[in-house]
Chain A
Amino acid sequence: MRCRAICFTILALPFSLASVPAENMPSDRLGEYDVKAAFIYNFARFIEWTPWHKNGENPFFSIGVLGEEPFGNALDDTFTDKTIAGSHVRIMRAGNLQALMDCQILFISQSEQSRVDKILNALNDRQILTIADFPGFAEAGGIIELRVEENRVRFLINQKTAVDAGLKISSKLLNLAQKVITR
């Protein structure tokens, strides 16, 4: 095992050096998805989660990313050592919805934009917080839509879908939302 680890290390060394981020980003700004990941963390905290697991079964709080993943490591970095409602967090990524049906938060990537209606229908009022960052998501029945306006992240909430899904969103979050859809 150790031998293999050393081999791996040698093989990976040149690449790990390369993973030092390039100086292509102005230092006073942050990557869009780093900030979006932090938003997701906050959303998770401002929602009252009813227990989703029966005794002994699946103790994790699961966040799913459906479709092509835009976060890089941002989600993993954000949720390392964090707990939501007392549970450790795991990040799952998949191309099809079936693998992610047990998630508590489902981030739907822009690559899935064209089939968003199908996805939302398939979720069928499960207690899943759906988040996406393409326009029209909240109107289409998604719960939280992230936007970037003037380089700052904003969000919209579809309160009706949230209620249907049995999610209780704190009033603080609702107050900060750019728009709350209630019908």
Chain B
Amino acid sequence: MNKESMYITEDEKTSMDTIKRIPVRILSPPGIKQTLCVFFYLMLLFQTPVHPLHRDLTEMSLEELMQIEVVTVSKKSERLFDASAAIFTITEDDMAQAGIQTIPDAMRLAPGVQVGHVDANKWAISARGFNMLFANKLLVMKDGRSVYTRIFSGVCWESQDVLVSDLDRIEVIRGPGATLWGANAVNGVINIITKPASETQGGYLQLGLGTVQKKALDFRYGGRLSEKIWYRVYGKYADHGPLVFADGKETEDGWQTVHGGFRMDIPWSPRNRVTVICEANRVHTGQTLAPDYFDPDLQIERIDAGRVTGGHVLGRWEHTFSDDSDCAFQWFIDTYQRDDPLLVQGGYQRLDLDFQHRFALTARHQIIWGIGSRFTRDWFDNTIVVNYDPAERRYSLYNTFIQDEIRLIPDRIHLTVGTKLEWTESTRFSLQPNLRMRWSPSSRQTLWWAASRAVRTPSRSDLDVRLVKYLFADETYKTWGLLQGTPGVPVEVLYAVESGYRLSPSDHFLADLAVFYNRYDNLRTFNLGTPFTETKDATQNIYIPFIAGSDRHGESAGFETALEFRPFTKSRMRLAYTYFRLRLFMESGVTNYRGNDAETESPQHQATLFFSVKPIRHINLGVTCRFVDRLESLSIDRYLTADISLGWRINRMIELSLSGRNLFGGPHAEFIGETVAPFEKALVRRGFRLTSHVTW
């Protein structure tokens, strides 16, 4: 498996430039020193990578050579540089060097992704705008399993814990990926991929102590049951401290998470491979509620607690027919339950089946097609804030897709045409086609264009929710806001055009630029309806309803750039900058709950500078500076802060690291959850953490 991010070209081929300049290299005869000399320098400048030859292979017999295991140049990494999509990869190394322990924090390294802490255990994460607590236009997959839930229409990030040491990479694809990945891959797709068990052999124990992430214990052991059965068992416990209020006092949103599981990888024949993953988790979250959300007569405790339990089993069988033909069948069952008596009580179970087949129709046509289905059952208990009607629902989703990669000029111009057809009960059929083209003038340059249509299927909340919010009261009346779902509300539709350019003039430098224009139709609104009164327990209640509709459209545009410079092998510098604008247009006569506030809920400018260096052997220093522009409608100011991580590798087994997060600028708010749920505004603060790990 490829450990390097897309543009690390250590394994890359010699550039065409080098080839043109030095058509013939003469090796041993004397008298050509100058040529060699010039060549040597040119070689250095153009960096043809040198692999360590541990042994002189030419002294080995053919029989011996045939026994040597080789690392194949990952096709994936080539494909990423050549990908006709805005893609960025975060590796385990990136996370280790930046001192990052959680996936939301890792996402901050990627260009074009907006990450905001809502409170200590809640995040708003999106790409290309529309960020909120349950950002609904970003699809997140973990080892091939969608963790996007149609119930809350978003991702419950607190349950997505992972051992950083077992993580292979996080692929961040900005822009629609619906043709391959399916509905809700509207603004982006995030793929969290862990290593196969064969790459996590042996023991690993990590202990962390800190001021914000207070205690953490990671454990993993990997071994093999027989020659062909690799496994690992793992577990993690973490106790995270709370954030702070504006006055500097600690909130009550500290949380504890424990998860454990195992993974087996069974390459039982050269052509067949089976993977089984089984995991369970339990999260205990604290939260501080915003007081003015509730009826003061109820005297709600502001301090609230929730409990989340979940688990999944996933099986995958991959079969290889030949080098350019393979298929995979995957199924998973997962379950999620959230118990938060004041706010939401409910959960779901899902069964998902998926089949994919890739083959070369002709030398020029590479086809990939698949079918899939997902069956969901969910249930809710009423709380004083939310109830669902009906309280239980079963729904299914069927999809099929086909995509053809046409090598118009092999390795130079490739055209990808494909579409997905998806069916759900509430939205019937929706078509999500895309057209992509890439042109690689040389192996170090890629230009790409894409046009796509993607949809977001309405969430359970869009269809069936009834959410009440206390507004105010006088002597005779209590006034409430009522957010109400509409059965049959249509899908949100995106038409996107994108273009990008990647350039890697040498292995030390990479530039990646993507520009996009998105047009959204049928965007979700909660339209002001006619107020009505209701008498309950001798109290007169006035309800101001806001009813789910699809009465606005919008357009967004922006660009994302990432520059990476690696002056030396052990050091690198990466700069990511994102510019983003969103305009929303309401149909006339419609009053939306919260108007067009979403326009300014994603930062217009965002920049990350990541710098990692090994000043001395065994010492690694990672510095991350982050700037996020203001979010006007949430009254959140722009902030600039930095994270520093210092790692010391004591010996082959033991490593120590000290990291500090949010070091500058004092406590600051990153996002507010109050727009969708009654969570008090919380500020992130400076935190330090000492971690040590042992491998054996």
Chain A residues within CB distance 8 Å of chain B: 5, 8-9, 11-12, 14-22, 24-39, 41-42, 46, 60, 68-74, 76-82, 88-95, 99, 111, 113-114, 134-135, 148-154, 172-173, 176
In contact, A39 and B51 (Cβ under 8 angstroms) = no
In contact, B57 and A37 (Cβ under 8 angstroms) = yes
**Complex interface: chain A residues within 8 A of B616 (CB):** none
Taken residue by residue from 1 to 34, chain B's Cβ proximity to chain A (1 for < 8 Å, 0 otherwise) reads as 0011000101101101001001111111100000
B322 at the interface (CB under 8 A from A): yes
CA distance A26 to B72 in the complex (A): 12
Beta-carbon contacts under 8 Å, B31-75 to A: 37, 41, 43-45, 47-54, 57-58, 60-63, 65-73
Minimum Cβ distance to chain A for residue B61 (Å): 8
How many chain-B residues does the 8 Å CB contact rule pick out?
62
CA distance A150 to B324 in the complex (A): 16
CA distance A26 to B25 in the complex (A): 30
Beta-carbon contacts under 8 Å, B609-625 to A: none
CA distance A183 to B613 in the complex (A): 59
The 5 closest A-B pairs by CB, nearest first: A38-B57, A31-B51, A32-B70, A12-B44, A151-B69
**Complex interface: chain A residues within 8 A of B28 (CB):** 80-82, 88-89
Known contacts A21-B49, A68-B443; is-contact A94 B23 (Cβ 8 Å): yes
**Complex interface: chain B residues within 8 A of A88 (CB):** 27-29
In contact, B68 and A153 (Cβ under 8 angstroms) = yes
**Complex interface: chain A residues within 8 A of B3 (CB):** 24
In contact, A30 and B70 (Cβ under 8 angstroms) = yes
By beta carbon, the residue of chain B nearest A91 is B25
Minimum Cβ distance to chain B for residue A8 (Å): 5
Pick the contact of B10 from A22, A34, A153 — CB < 8 Å?
Answer: A22
Beta-carbon contacts under 8 Å, B545-602 to A: 566-569
SS class, residues of chain B in contact with chain A: loop
B270 at the interface (CB under 8 A from A): yes
By beta carbon, the residue of chain B nearest A64 is B24
In contact, A18 and B47 (Cβ under 8 angstroms) = yes
Pick the contact of B23 from A8, A37, A89, A99 — CB < 8 Å?
Answer: A99
Pick the contact of B41 from A12, A73, A153 — CB < 8 Å?
Answer: A12
In contact, B25 and A76 (Cβ under 8 angstroms) = yes
**Complex interface: chain B residues within 8 A of A94 (CB):** 19, 23
Known contacts A20-B569, A72-B49; is-contact A28 B29 (Cβ 8 Å): no
CA distance A38 to B37 in the complex (A): 25
In contact, A135 and B324 (Cβ under 8 angstroms) = yes
CA distance A5 to B38 in the complex (A): 9
In contact, B27 and A30 (Cβ under 8 angstroms) = no
Known contacts A5-B37, A18-B508, A111-B410; is-contact A39 B62 (Cβ 8 Å): yes
CA distance A113 to B364 in the complex (A): 11
In contact, B69 and A90 (Cβ under 8 angstroms) = no
Beta-carbon contacts under 8 Å, B309-327 to A: 322-324
B650 at the interface (CB under 8 A from A): no
**Complex interface: chain A residues within 8 A of B65 (CB):** 35, 38-39, 42, 153
In contact, B60 and A69 (Cβ under 8 angstroms) = no
In contact, B72 and A32 (Cβ under 8 angstroms) = yes
Q: List 7 A-B contacts (CB under 8 A).
A: A24-B4, A31-B73, A38-B57, A41-B58, A68-B13, A94-B19, A113-B363
**Complex interface: chain B residues within 8 A of A11 (CB):** 41, 45
In contact, B363 and A176 (Cβ under 8 angstroms) = no
CA distance A37 to B60 in the complex (A): 12
By beta carbon, the residue of chain A nearest B2 is A24
Minimum Cβ distance to chain B for residue A3 (Å): 14
**Complex interface: chain A residues within 8 A of B60 (CB):** 38
Known contacts A5-B37, A111-B410, A114-B363; is-contact A31 B71 (Cβ 8 Å): yes
CA distance A77 to B68 in the complex (A): 18
**Complex interface: chain B residues within 8 A of A27 (CB):** 54
In contact, B70 and A91 (Cβ under 8 angstroms) = no
Chain B residues within CB distance 8 Å of chain A: 3-4, 8, 10-11, 13-14, 16, 19, 22-29, 37, 41, 43-45, 47-54, 57-58, 60-63, 65-73, 270, 322-324, 363-364, 407, 410-411, 443, 506-508, 566-569
**Complex interface: chain A residues within 8 A of B49 (CB):** 19, 21, 72-73
**Complex interface: chain A residues within 8 A of B26 (CB):** 60, 90
Pick the contact of A152 from B45, B62, B68, B324 — CB < 8 Å?
Answer: B68
**Complex interface: chain A residues within 8 A of B323 (CB):** 134-135
In contact, A21 and B270 (Cβ under 8 angstroms) = no
**Complex interface: chain A residues within 8 A of B41 (CB):** 8-9, 11-12
**Complex interface: chain B residues within 8 A of A99 (CB):** 23
SS class, residues of chain A in contact with chain B: mixed
Pick the contact of A113 from B50, B410, B506, B507 — CB < 8 Å?
Answer: B410
Pick the contact of A153 from B54, B66, B569 — CB < 8 Å?
Answer: B66
**Complex interface: chain A residues within 8 A of B567 (CB):** 14, 18
**Complex interface: chain B residues within 8 A of A73 (CB):** 43, 48-51
By beta carbon, the residue of chain A nearest B16 is A68
CA distance A94 to B18 in the complex (A): 11
By beta carbon, the residue of chain B nearest A46 is B62
Known: A78-B57, A114-B364, A152-B66. 20 other contacts (CB 8 A): A11-B41, A18-B569, A21-B52, A22-B569, A30-B57, A36-B70, A38-B57, A42-B65, A76-B27, A89-B28, A90-B26, A92-B23, A134-B323, A135-B324, A151-B69, A152-B67, A153-B66, A153-B70, A173-B62, A176-B63
In contact, B407 and A114 (Cβ under 8 angstroms) = yes
CA distance A92 to B63 in the complex (A): 28
Minimum Cβ distance to chain B for residue A93 (Å): 5
**Complex interface: chain B residues within 8 A of A172 (CB):** 62
CA distance A149 to B320 in the complex (A): 11
CA distance A169 to B615 in the complex (A): 53
Pick the contact of B62 from A25, A42, A78 — CB < 8 Å?
Answer: A42
Pick the contact of A69 from B13, B24, B407, B506 — CB < 8 Å?
Answer: B13
In contact, B51 and A72 (Cβ under 8 angstroms) = yes
Minimum Cβ distance to chain B for residue A36 (Å): 8
**Complex interface: chain B residues within 8 A of A36 (CB):** 70
In contact, B58 and A38 (Cβ under 8 angstroms) = yes
CA distance A145 to B65 in the complex (A): 16
In contact, B410 and A135 (Cβ under 8 angstroms) = no
In contact, A151 and B27 (Cβ under 8 angstroms) = no
**Complex interface: chain B residues within 8 A of A24 (CB):** 3-4, 8, 10
Interface centre among B23, B71, B270, by most chain A C-beta atoms within 10 angstroms, is B71
**Complex interface: chain B residues within 8 A of A113 (CB):** 363, 410
CA distance A70 to B47 in the complex (A): 14
**Complex interface: chain B residues within 8 A of A153 (CB):** 65-66, 68, 70
In contact, A17 and B48 (Cβ under 8 angstroms) = no
Known contacts A88-B28, A91-B25; is-contact A21 B58 (Cβ 8 Å): no
By beta carbon, the residue of chain A nearest B38 is A8
CA distance A44 to B126 in the complex (A): 57
Pick the contact of A19 from B44, B70, B324 — CB < 8 Å?
Answer: B44
